[in-house]
Amino acid sequence: MLPLSPIIPNIVLSSTLCPTLTLTVPFLKCAYLLLIPLGCSSTKYKTLKEARYRIKIANQVICTSNVTLNQVYQELLINKTKNLKKQSIIKVNNLYKYLLPIKDEKINSIDLSKYRQLTNYIESQNFSSDYNNKILGLFKQIVNYSAKHYNTSESILKFIEPYREKNIIKKEMLFFTLEEYKKFDSVVTDFSYHTFFELLYYNGLRKGEAQALTWNDIDFVRNEVKITKTITTKIKGENWTISSPKTKSSIRILPLTKKLISDFKMMLDNAKEFKDFTYDWFVFGNSIPFKESTIEHKKNEYCKLANIKQIRIHDFRHSCASLLINQGASIILVSKFLEHSDVSMILNRYTHMYKNELENVTNLLNNL
């Protein structure tokens, strides 16, 4: 659709569905007209984009009224599976469960009233603000995808506001001090689990990264461990699933302590006693990797026996950071050792542990 110019006195616009009228429009008004069947009136639109959009609807080139939230999500999910890991897809599906109250709603019919019904349902689940925002984030993705591929309205997005925690006292980070870890380790009777937790504590590996290690990843000459993959045993229908680590920066090579190398050698000697041993075997579990549920059970049991606080498996990673900081490691070194892609995240998370370092800086300035 084009605005009329002084050179062109009139324009004929036609639809494939019906005969049209020839209309003359003054150029200075800069209005666009959508021509509709004879016997009906024409409609003005402010922009060329809107006029073109409406003529597409009239010609049934596009459909904007029937596509539902669930239909768009299923298509979006197919696209996501091309780029996301299986465990990430599971997380997306878990978020989508909380959009089910409006899954059969047409995208164009989701108004403020229906959106409020959705947020009331989400809030009734008593999730954290962070998780609520993840659910709304998926809702935004669906609406944006629909607008892009089906030209549906995205006006509902202007009503979305992020959830914020109110009057929440930040929980103290849990970790083992060196003394607490030694108490924990003293009650571990299974040598393989002793070495597993030892690796988590001194090298800060994520649980899945340790589970996925094979003997090919241990370099007994350089005393190093190579982290190139992760594992999960939580996907239904699969005993375990191996994939790339959490981020690209998570692929790394770490030095091992003499104690860990010694322990790994003992474990390797034990594994070699099996006739079908290969270096493709898992370091922790031989032909079958440690199960996540068993790791959790063992950790809980050892904490009780040692009479120390319960921490999560991931808190062994925080414990490693605490250990390094208390030994004088810089924030850059800690970030590199744990392979955090964002140094600022390390700084925000562990700033309180650098109190002594800050005092040392003040002393240096006072001595100038």
Indicate the pLDDT class of residue 22, thresholds 50, 70 and 90.
very low
* Segment 146-153 long-range contacts (CB within 8 Å, at least 24 positions apart): 146/67, 146/72, 146/107, 149/72, 149/75, 150/62, 150/63, 150/64, 150/67, 150/72, 150/107, 151/53, 151/56, 151/62, 151/64, 152/64, 152/67, 152/107, 152/108, 153/64, 153/107, 153/108
Residues 228 and 261 in one domain: yes
In a domain, 186, yes or no: yes
In a domain, 164, yes or no: no
Task: Report whether pLDDT(6) > 60.
Answer: no
Taken as a whole, the chain contains a residue count of 368
Task: Report whether pLDDT(187) > 80.
Answer: yes
Residues 188 and 283 in one domain: yes
| Model pLDDT, residue 296 | 96
Q: How many CB atoms lie within 10 A of CB 40?
A: 10
In a domain, 182, yes or no: yes
Token pair for residue 25?
């429009």
Residue type, 102: I
Residues 97 and 44 in one domain: no
Contact 175, 319 (CB under 8 A): yes
| Model pLDDT, residue 259 | 96
Which among 90, 124, 159 is the end of a domain?
Answer: 159
Map tokens 């925690």 to a residue. Answer: 165
Distance of CA 193 to the CA centre of its chain: 29
Three-state DSSP class for residue 168: coil
Query: How many distinct structural domains can be found in the chain?
Result: 3
> The domain spanning residue 192 has which CATH number?
1.10.443.10
Strands 224-227 and 218-219, sheet pairing: antiparallel
Residues 194 and 315 in one domain: yes
For the ranges 54-63, 153-162, 169-178, the one whose mean pLDDT is highest: 153-162
In a domain, 127, yes or no: yes
Residues 182 and 278 in one domain: yes
Q: Return the minimum-mean-pLDDT range out of 172-181, 236-245, 271-280, 322-331.
A: 236-245
| Model pLDDT, residue 88 | 83
Residues 201 and 326 in one domain: yes
Map tokens 């599976």 to a residue. Answer: 81
Indicate the pLDDT class of residue 339, thresholds 50, 70 and 90.
confident
Question: What distances in angstroms separate CA 274 from CA 217, 248, 267, 270, 286, one per listed residue?
Answer: 19, 35, 12, 8, 10
Helix axes 69-80, 129-150, angle to 10 degrees: 100
CA gap 115, 69 in Å, rounded: 12
pLDDT (mean) for 142-150: 92
pLDDT (mean) for 170-189: 88
Residues 89 and 146 in one domain: yes
Residues 51 and 82 in one domain: no
In a domain, 63, yes or no: no
pLDDT (mean) for 201-216: 95
In a domain, 278, yes or no: yes
Residues 95 and 229 in one domain: no
Give the domain range for residue 97.
69-159
Which among 98, 126, 159 is the end of a domain?
Answer: 159
Residues 112 and 240 in one domain: no
Which among 132, 159, 186 is the end of a domain?
Answer: 159
| Model pLDDT, residue 20 | 40
Residues 133 and 248 in one domain: no
Which of the pair, 128 or 45, is modelled with greater confidence? 128
In a domain, 168, yes or no: no
Answer yes or no: pTM beyond 0.75.
Answer: no
pLDDT (mean) for 324-353: 74
Task: Report whether pLDDT(328) > 90.
Answer: no
> The domain spanning residue 97 has which CATH number?
1.10.150.130
In a domain, 362, yes or no: no
Residues 85 and 230 in one domain: no
Q: Return the minimum-mean-pLDDT range out of 22-31, 111-120, 169-178.
A: 22-31
Please list, in sequence order, all residues whose beta carbon lies within 8 angstroms of the beta carbon of residue 52, skipping any fewer than 6 positions away: 1
Contact 280, 287 (CB under 8 A): no
